Amino acid sequence: MPVWGVIFLLLLWNGIITFLLIRWHRQHQVLVRGTEKKRVEEILGEILREIQKQEKKEKELEEEIKKLFLQGEFHFQKLGLVKFNPFAEMGGSQSFSLALLDQRGSGMVITGLHGRDLTRLYVKKVKEGKPEEGELSREEEMAIKQCLKQRKRKENNEDRNN
């Protein structure tokens, strides 16, 4: 091979290596931009420590969300309201049965009977959609059914979304 051919190959090789070195230098500059003159290993170590902190915070937040979700099951989430007229001589539906239930279908039913001279309020405990003691009136049952339908609708919507 002539000397000129070897020189040409060496110049080509030198050009390729120079090109790769310049490209690496630019990437390095992007990586260390905005930092003090530290070594890349120190910068990467700081990044890894920050990632570990974020992962720890993420786990703590996930645990807190789980706790809140479990607590939320016992808060009133469903409401059923039935207005009715218990007395024939009174006009309008001014009496009501209001069911307030949690995620599990437990809570209470408040019934207000409005008459000419007074209004009476009655409260009954409900556990899993059933009265704990005594019997429910037709209106109270309707209010509870409204709540339980809300749960079924919510479950059906969640099934469609999954």
Whether the pLDDT of residue 31 is over 70: the answer is yes
Q: How far is CA 48 from each of CA 40, 78, 152, rounded to the nearest angstrom?
A: 12, 46, 46
- pLDDT (0 to 100) of residue 156: 63
- pLDDT tens per residue across span 91-142: 678 899 999 998 888 999 999 998 878 889 999 999 988 898 889 999 999 9
Mean pLDDT of 42-70: 91
Number of H helices, E strands in the chain: 3, 5
Dihedral sign for Cα 128, 133, 134, 140, please.
Answer: negative
Tell me the C-alpha distance between 124 and 128, whole Å: 13
CA–centroid distance for 87 within its chain: 46
Tokens linked to 110: 């408040």
- pLDDT (0 to 100) of residue 157: 61
Q: Which residues pair with 126 in a beta bridge?
A: 107, 131
- Average per-residue pLDDT in the chain? 86
- pLDDT tens per residue across span 135-155: 999 999 999 999 888 766 556
What is the pTM assigned to this prediction? 0.56
- pLDDT (0 to 100) of residue 37: 64
Q: Give the number of C-alpha atoms closer than 13 A to the C-alpha of residue 82, restricted to the C-beta side.
A: 20
- pLDDT (0 to 100) of residue 24: 92
Whether the pLDDT of residue 49 is over 70: the answer is yes
